[in-house]
Structure 1
Amino acid sequence: MVSCQDPFPWRLFIALLTDDLKVSAREQVEYMLMEDEDTPFITADEEVKSEIRTCLCKIFSSFEKELGSLLEADLSSETAEVKALPSLSDLDWMCNILPKMDLMKDFVSSWVEISCNILAVIQDKKFDSTLWGVKVKLIEVVGKVLDAVGFGNVILPTPARVHLLKIWLPYIRRMKPLLDLQGSEEMGFPYKMDEDLCQNIEAAIVSLVLALPSNDQADILVDWMQTEQVRYPDLSEAFEVWCYRTKAAKRRLVVGLNGIDNGTVSL
Structure 2
Amino acid sequence: MDQTGAVKTCKFGDQKTSDIIVRLRNHEGKTECLYSHSSILTNKSRFFADWLSNPDSGIYIEIQCSESNYNHHVNLLRLLYLPADSLLDSLNSVKSAIGILHLAIAFHCEEITNSCIQYLEAVPWEDEEEEEILKLVSKLGPMAMPILARIQPVDLSATKNVFISAFRFATSTGGQCPPFGDELKASAQEQVEFMLGGDEDIPLITTDDEVKSVVRVGLSKVFSSFEKELLSLLVNSNLSAETTEDKISPSLSDMEWMCNILPKIELMKDFVSCWAEISGKVLEIVEDQRLNHLMWGLKVKLIEMTGKVLEAVGYGNVILPAPCRVQLLKTWLPYIRKMKPLLDAKVNEEAGFTHKMDDDLCQSIEGAIVSLILALPSNDQADILADWMKTEQVKYPDLTEAFEVWCYRTKSAKRRLTEGLNRVSDATHSL
- Relative to the length of structure 1, the TM-score reads 0.96
Moved more, 100-109 or 67-76: 67-76
Q: CA deviation at 1:7?
A: 2.3
1:127 pairs with one of 288, 291, 295:
291
Q: Is the 8 A contact 2:279 2:331 kept in 1?
A: yes
Confirm or deny that 1:74 pairs with 2:241. no
**Offset at residue 167 of structure 1 (A):** 0.3
Q: Deviations over 1:106-143 (max 9, x none)?
A: 00001000000000000000000000000000011001
State the distance in 2 between where 1:138 and 1:75 align.
Answer: 22
State whether structure 2 residue 427 is matched by structure 1 residue 263: yes
What whole-Å deviation, never above 9, does each CA across 1:151-206 have from its counterpart, x for those lacking one? 00000011110010000000100010000000000012110111111110000000
Task: Work out which of the residue numbers 72, 94, 103 in structure 1 matches 2:267.
Answer: 103
User: In the alignment, which residue of structure 1 is the partner of 2:184?
Assistant: 21
Partner of 1:34: 197
**SS at structure 1 position matched to 2:248:** helix
Q: 2:159 maps to which residue? A: 7
The aligned runs of 1:58-73 (5 Å cut-off) are 58-73=221-236
Give aligned-pair identity as a percent. 64
Contact residue 280 and residue 331 of structure 2 kept, 8 A: yes
**Larger displacement relative to structure 2 (15-24 or 94-103):** 15-24
Deviates more, 1:46-55 or 1:68-77: 68-77
Which residue matches 1:254? Answer: 418
Bigger fraction of residues in helix? 1
Deviation at 1:13, TM superposition (A): 2.7
- 1:66-215 correspondence to structure 2 within 5 Å: 66-77=229-240, 78-215=242-379
2:215 equivalent in structure 1: 52
Q: CA deviation at 1:47?
A: 0.8
What SS does the corresponding residue of 2:212 show, helix, strand or coil? helix
Query: Does the 8 A contact of 1:67 with 1:84 survive in 2?
Result: yes
Please list the CA deviations of residues 56-93 of structure 1 after superposition, one character each: whole Å capped at 9, or x if unmatched: 00000000010011011213331221122221111111
Per-residue CA shift, 1:186-238, capped at 9, x if unaligned? 01211011111111000000000000000110111111110011110000000
CA distance in 2, matches of 1:30, 1:265: 69
Unmatched segments (≥5 aa) in structure 2 = 1-150, 173-180
User: SS of the residue aligned with 2:199?
Assistant: coil
Q: Any stretches of 5+ residues in structure 1 without a counterpart? A: none
Rounded to whole Å, the distance in 2 between the matches of 1:230 and 1:85 is 32
Separation in 2, partners of 1:76, 1:213:
42
TM-score (norm 2): 0.60
Count, aligned residues: 265
> Would the aligned equivalents of 1:11 and 1:51 in 2 still touch at CA under 8 Å?
no
Deviation of residue 14 (structure 1)? 3.0
